[in-house]
Amino acid sequence: MKPRFLAIACPLALGLASLAPPAIGEDLVDIYREALRADPAIAAAQANWVATQEKAPQARAGLLPNVSASGNGSLFNYDATIKGDPRQDINRNFHQYTAIVSASQPLFRYQNLVLYDQSKQQVTQADFILSSAQQDLIVRVAVAYFDILLAQFNIELAESQKKAVVEQLAQAKRNFEVGVATITDTNEAQAKYDAIVAQEISVRNEYDNRVTALRAIIGRYPKELKKLGAGLVPVLPEPNVADYWVDRALKENLSVRIAESNFEIARLEVDRARGGHYPTIDLVGSYTAQGSNAAVSSSVASDQRTGTIGLQLNVPIYQGGFVDSRVREAIALQEKNRQDLEAARRAALFAAQTGYAGVVSATASVKAFEQAVVSAESALASNIVGQEVGIRTFLDVLQVQQNVYSTRRDLADAYFKYLVGLLRLKASVGALTDEDIEYLNRQLKG
């Protein structure tokens, strides 16, 4: 059974397809796609993801060969004179060169191995961070979008309510002039009218604020937004069991996964710090070529080649307590990340529990307010008839009329809470994707 709200509230808001031609404007997916292009938060998350991908190649470089080359060349002028023997005067120009190619291959560098494991954790974590930012964007866009629709709904309600009270005020003045009503009715209607004008100013200001909030996401003022269609029916979560969502959140919530990665990185950092005590072994080699076309004491050219290969062992003995201090620091940070992980799990539990309860509550609220709107409108019709036959007063009608609009507003609020609640529930278990917002958008179009 479809919600009667869609038929009852339409004259005042939501522009449903069943009672009005489809609005030409931007829908939820249009706004979301614009946000993907323009939102600075998601752009920053994407740039961070790209940067983090380089962590693994950088760490892997510490396990691969390192080759370098160097060289130099010099031009010499040798001028010597032996006093008393002109035959020993020497003036010689010659050049020398040296070229060296050296290479090393780490055989055992424990810290580099651990650093590579850390980098792989960071790359995996970057996926979770980007997914979390995307889920956050979906929720922010949906909240901003529905907040605007709700603000529009409240404006239309205020306008309709003001129109109805104006008619009641005019009738009260006519009745007072002909002596069939007291000045109290007129004053009461005027007070209602003034209150509604003040409320209209407030809801219009709220609408401007909601539009500005969406502008902060997409970088421009939105065009006309498409309103709710008639095809969406609130349903309970599937499965309709709170423990399922809580258990799943403890394992799959993205904040939990990010915290788990941080803890694993911190655990590896303790190992890396302890690795400062371990020796390192490298395979090293070099090839040197040097020569000259003469020398200080000879005019004979020379050319030499030397190649070496061997193992290089480095054993740390004492570093002023630096390594022990780094180990203590890493252990403390590991405990900090352990507590952060526990906090993330508790937050995920809370998000899943409240998300599930919110959807269930909103579903029940929609059904309850649907019936409340029907009852309020029936009561209004009865009071109007009662006023005509003299068993209800003008003030009675105004009060019941106010209740009708208030109930419609509550119903609209419950409806939008249900829509956003669905997204928040899926986000709490790390399962919110673009497909969800596309599905919701199709439902909104009716």
* Cα angle, residue 221 at apex, residues 217 and 224 outer, rounded to 5°: 115
Cβ contact 434:220 at 8 Å: no
| Residue 201 DSSP code | H
Nearest to 232, CA basis, from 67, 363, 95, 329:
363
pLDDT of the residue at 55:
97
pLDDT of the residue at 87:
60
**pLDDT tens digits for range 254-307:** 999 999 999 999 999 999 999 999 999 999 999 999 988 877 666 777 888 999
Q: Which residue has the tokens 């309600």?
A: 157
Taking every pair of C-alpha atoms in the chain, what is the biggest distance, in angstroms? 149
DSSP structure string for 306-337 = EEEEEEEEE-----TTHHHHHHHHHHHHHHHH
Q: Which phi and psi angles does 378 have, rounded to 5°?
A: -65, -40
Alpha-carbon 49 to chain mean position: 13
pLDDT of the residue at 4:
29
Q: The dihedral of CA 155, 160, 166, 172: what is its sign?
A: negative
Hey, what are 435's tokens?
């497909």
Hey, what are 299's tokens?
């005019």
Q: How far apart are CA 334 and CA 213, in angstroms?
A: 39
Q: The dihedral of CA 178, 181, 183, 189: what is its sign?
A: negative
Cβ contact 52:88 at 8 Å: no
Cβ contact 278:152 at 8 Å: no
Nearest to 274, CA basis, from 334, 325, 338:
325
Nearest to 245, CA basis, from 134, 108, 142, 360:
360
Stated as kind and residue range, the H or E segment containing 283 is strand 280-292
Stated as kind and residue range, the H or E segment containing 148 is helix 110-177
Using CA atoms of 180, 181, 186, 188 in order, give the dihedral in degrees to the nearest 10.
-150
CATH domain 5-64+109-277+319-445 topology = Outer membrane efflux proteins (OEP) (1.20.1600)
Residues in the chain: 446
pLDDT of the residue at 278:
97
Q: With a cut of 70, which residues of the chain have pLDDT below it?
A: 1-24, 80, 82-90, 180-182, 230-232, 296-298, 394, 445-446
**pLDDT tens digits for range 112-153:** 999 999 999 999 999 999 999 999 999 999 999 999 999 999
Q: How far apart are CA 405 and CA 77, in angstroms?
A: 104
pLDDT of the residue at 228:
77
Q: How far apart are CA 365 and CA 413, in angstroms?
A: 10
Neighbours of 126 (CB within 10 A): 20
pLDDT of the residue at 49:
98
Cα Rg, the chain, nearest whole Å: 39
